[in-house]
Amino acid sequence: MDSRQQRLLDLRDILNRHNYNYYVLNAPEISDRDFDMLMKELEALEADFPEMADPYSPTQRVGSDLSDKFEQARHIYPMLSLSNTYSIHEVDEWFGRVRGALEGEKFEVVGEMKYDGTSISLIYEHGRLVRAVTRGDGERGDVVTANIKTIKSIPLELRGSGWPDMFEIRGEILMPWKEFDRLNKEREYNEEPLFANPRNAASGTLKTLDSREVARRGLDAFFYYLLGPDLPFDNHYANMMAAREWGFKVSPIMTLLHSLEQVDQFINHWDTARRELPVATDGLVFKVNNLRQQLNLGYTAKSPRWAVAYKFPAERACTRLRFVSFEVGRMGIVTPVANLDPVLLSGTVVKRASLHNEDIIRSLDIHEEDMLYVEKGGEIIPKITGVDENGRLPGAKPVRFVHFCPACATPLVRVEGEASWQCPNRFGCPPQIAGRIEHFVGRKMMNIEGIGEETVEQLYKRGYIKNIADLYDLTTDQLLLLDGFGPRSAERVLEGLEASKSIPYDRVIYALSIPFVGDTVARKVAKAFPDIDLLMAATTDQLAATKDIGPRIAQSITEYFANPANRETVARLRAAGLQFAAPEESTEGATDLLGGKTFVISGTFTHHSRDEYKDLIERNGGKNVSSISRKTDYVFAGANMGPAKLEKATSLGIPIIDEATFLDMIGQPL
Ligand code: IVH
């Protein structure tokens, strides 16, 4: 097999992974543009090697957002996508192809904004909305009528007259930036995962089972396509203007263009003007206006020939590299970071951007103090995408990756099978040690209040703590010597350490910073090996036989416990009183006092943490759910519960209980 054939196979794996991230996890790792580029590369290779065709290749399907929670319906007209272009030149080529295919006939083009949300198909019969269906796999989609009805700008009954008895209208469901920011702030407060962009927020919301929650989220919609057997006009533009009269929020950016020059002007104008819009956009769409000409031009397997999308370039700035710093994380991985002259990009000042690893520095050929291009795509983190070589200073040397740890000078080692370098000095390298301690005290681990990054740094620098076990030997006198500490803050730290002794076993395992053991793995390990002696005695094979634990994780765990220094740390933590065994599930503490009742827990608490309460709910036979619906039995409210939740619970007549009431219910009165 030659290297291009190997690339073809690799691309299938890569695209499958990105599809999964996007559609299943709702957490894309690359921009749509990068995804499209990879897809185009794969399509080209498959065309060159027809013998390698595979019906399971990612090129053989359009993405799907189908979910098993909704009823599904077949689209009357399949929902195709548009072919993408990335430059004026490519749009001009499309224009040329249309002109050629129409054999000199005059034609007009409608230029429109391409909104970045999720598409919807609405069916109207006799002037009434009867069904709303998502795109799904293009052939069939989810019926989300109840959710769509909560969007106030969508007419349930049409105004005016002249609408056909039956027609379909398509548009984009959007979450305006303002609503998106508000929702993410609220989610951050409630410790729920954030949405990466308004598109994910809109599609996630549309798939919410509780339409009251949908109503609360401020979705909007713009419409851009009318279909049906007897539309009032013979052209797209006039039909859309008619739809506006019937009460639809037709996209306000929809312009008749009569020449290639006008098309180019439209692009140049909106390339920058779109930044002022209150909603996310990712490009422009050009459509041949006349419906008969559309029919003439027809379709390819995936998209109409009569339309094309132009994707906006990611916003980009060019700025000078001050220096590259090499930063050591708690696992010893050394990450190069570009420190930049501050530059404004999509509304925020960018000063630093990760360069990820050595290969990236090399492939971009970055030299000292180069002018670098920084981009922000649809996602939030800035990325270095290239170098402006005209800005290179005479005599500038290429940036070289370090070969010794910048913190402790130990020679770095290459991480097997990966592009990263690691400092192997786990127990002597200061940022690794401090990083592990910071991880240990963090909110999702031991949740030790009163100790943050700065306190850990001070404690470590003064020599009071050299590892996580030393935390439990801290004294009031030591704490009082720290900058900014008084008796009250010292007491808080000691109380925090005391409270951490009841943090459950699985979180203790997560807090240890065993390589490759994140919170999910820790939970699985804790379940399979319910106390630390069993876990420490387990062989790599026994660990690897556990569901969802692969050989790499298994080996990492045995290596961790084979190390005498780690065993000593564990022994000291155990002596300090931390939880090193899972609570006996069926016996100790487990009751059925809550008898299957569902709880929504919200706000902050004083007697236990929110996670501890969730645990108590489950251990006493109740269920935790994340949003309030008619089926919720209790809303368990702490301080600062969001006003929207409160209002919702009240309007549905769901009892709101406080800590004292809850503890009483499980027989642990205050
Ligand atoms: S027309 C057959 N017009 O872009 C053509 N689509 O990649 C149907 N979109 O699935 C689409 N704004 O979700 C059209 N003004 C616009 C659009 C638009 C956004 C989305 C839509 C579609 C996707 C195509």
Q: Which CATH number characterizes residue 488's domain?
A: 1.10.150.20
Based on the domain organization, do 32 and 138 belong to the same domain?
no
**Residue 627 falls within a domain, yes or no?**
yes
Residue nearest to atom 10 of ligand 1 (CA): 81
Say whether both 87 and 51 belong to one domain.
no
Atom 18 of ligand 1: nearest residue by CA position: 114
* Ligand 1, atom 22, residue with closest C-alpha: 81
Cα 15 to averaged position of ligand 1 atoms, centre (Å): 22
Judge if 615 and 638 occupy the same domain. Answer: yes
Q: Is the pTM of this model over 0.75?
A: no
- Give domain status of residue 670, yes or no: no
Question: Is residue 593, in this structure, part of any structural domain at all?
Answer: no
Gap from CA of 326 to ligand 1 centroid (Å): 43
- pLDDT higher than 70, residue 577: yes
227 compared with 518, residue with greater pLDDT? 227
In the numeric block, which tokens belong to residue 635?
């809303």
Q: Are residues 327 and 349 in the same domain?
A: yes
**CA of 310: how far to CAs of 33, 96, 101, 281, in Å?**
11, 15, 20, 11
Mean pLDDT confidence for 520-529 = 89
35 C-alpha vs ligand 1 centroid, how far in Å?
Answer: 18
Of 28-37, 53-62, 454-463, 625-634, the range with the lowest mean pLDDT is 53-62
The C-alpha atoms of residue 285 and residue 275 are separated, in whole angstroms, by 17
CA distance 317 to 379: 16
d(CA 15, CA 256): 37
Report yes or no on 444 lying in a domain.
Answer: yes
Same domain for 233 and 265? yes
Mean pLDDT for the stretch of residues 100-111: 96
Same domain, 306 and 323: no
Q: To test ligand 1's pocket by mutation, which of 248, 284, 285 has the most ligand atoms within 8 angstroms of CB? A: 285
Question: Across residues 180-209, what is the average pLDDT?
Answer: 83
C-alpha 111 – ligand 1 centre gap (Å)? 12
Residue 649 and residue 577 in one domain: no
Find the CATH number of the domain harbouring 38.
Answer: 1.10.287.610
Ranked by mean pLDDT, which of 18-22, 320-324, 412-416 comes out on top? 320-324
Residue 10, pLDDT > 60, answer yes
479-493 pLDDT, tens per residue? 999 999 999 999 999
How many whole angstroms separate alpha carbon 189 and alpha carbon 640? 10
- The H or E element containing residue 385 is strand 383-388
Determine, yes or no, domain membership for 475: yes
CATH number of the domain where residue 221 is located: 3.30.470.30
- Residue 611 maps to which CATH number? 3.40.50.10190
| Boundary residue ending a domain (584, 617, 649) | 584
| Per-residue pLDDT tens digits for 163-179 | 999 999 999 999 999 99
Ligand 1 centroid distance, CA of 283 (Å): 10
Ligand 1 atom nearest 116 alpha carbon: 19
Residues of the chain above pLDDT 70, percent:
95
Q: How big is the CA angle at 404 (ends 402 and 406), to the nearest 5 degrees?
A: 80
Q: 580 with 531: CB under 8 angstroms?
A: yes
pLDDT for the residue 63: 47
pLDDT at position 379: 53
Q: Is the pLDDT of residue 356 over 70?
A: yes
Q: How far, in Å, is the centroid of ligand 1 from the Cα of 29?
A: 23
> Which has more confidence, 550 or 60?
550
Residue 425 lies in a domain: no
For the chain, the straight-line distance linking the first and the last C-alpha, in angstroms and rounded, comes to 71
Q: Whose CA is nearest to atom 15 of ligand 1?
A: 114
* C-alpha pair distances (Å), 637 with each of 3, 189, 598, 630: 60, 14, 14, 17
State the DSSP string of 400-442: ---SB-TTT-PBPEEPTTSS-EE---TTT-HHHHHHHHHHHHS
Q: Tell me: the pLDDT tens digits for 613-644?
A: 988 998 898 988 888 888 899 999 987 777 77
pLDDT tens profile 273-324: 988 899 989 999 999 999 999 999 999 878 999 999 999 887 788 999 999 9
- Ligand 1 mutation target, pool 82, 118, 236, 299, most atoms within 8 A of CB: 82
Does 547 participate in catalysis according to the annotation? no
Q: Give the atom of ligand 1 at the shortest distance from the alpha carbon of 225.
A: 1
Q: Best-predicted range by mean pLDDT among 35-39, 60-64, 573-577?
A: 573-577
Q: For residue 254, give the 3-state DSSP assignment.
A: strand
206 in any annotated domain: yes
Element (H, E) at 310: strand 307-311
pLDDT score for 68: 58
pLDDT at 581 over 90: yes
Whether residues 47 and 76 share a domain: the answer is no
| SS3 state of residue 62 | coil
Q: How far, CA to CA in Å, does 395 sit from each of 370, 386, 390, 441, 528?
A: 11, 19, 13, 47, 59
Same domain for 332 and 286: no
Residue 34 and residue 169 in one domain:
no
Q: Which of 81, 199, 240 to mutate to test the pocket of ligand 1 (most atoms within 8 A of CB)?
A: 81
Instruction: List the catalytic residue out of 114, 207, 287, 311.
Output: 114
The verdict on 366 and 513 lying in the same domain is: no
Ligand 1, atom 9: closest residue by C-alpha: 114
CA of residue 516 to ligand 1 center, whole Å: 41
Query: In this model, does residue 647 exceed pLDDT 60?
Result: yes
- What's the chain's Rg over C-alpha atoms? 29
Q: What is the CATH number of the domain that holds 321?
A: 2.40.50.140
Window from 306-310, 340-344, 516-520 with minimum mean pLDDT = 516-520
* Ligand 1, pocket residues at CB < 6 Å: 80-82, 112, 114-115, 119, 172, 224-225, 251, 285, 304, 307, 309
- Whose CA is closest to 652, among 631, 668, 669? 631
Whether residue 604 sits in one domain with residue 528: no
Q: In this structure, what token pair is assigned to residue 107?
A: 């034609």
Task: Using most ligand atoms within 8 A of CB, pick from 110, 119, 270 the residue to mutate for ligand 1.
Answer: 119
Atom number in ligand 1 closest to CA 251? 15
Please name the residue that has the structure tokens 């990612």: 58
CA distances to 606, 631, 649 from 636, in Å: 13, 14, 10
Q: Which of 524, 550, 584 is the last residue of a domain?
A: 584
Ligand 1 midpoint to CA 197 (Å): 18
For residues 540 and 21, the model is more confident at 540
In the chain, how many domains are there? Answer: 5
* pLDDT band, very low/low/confident/very high, at 67 (cuts 50, 70, 90): low
Q: Is the pLDDT score of 378 beyond 60?
A: no
Which residue minimizes the CA distance to atom 16 of ligand 1?
114
Model pLDDT, residue 416: 78
Q: Which domain holds residue 168?
A: 72-311
pLDDT in the model for residue 24: 46
* Average pLDDT of the residues of the chain: 90
Residue 592 belongs to some domain of the structure: no
pLDDT computed for residue 22 by the predictor: 66
Domain boundary among 414, 439, 465: 414
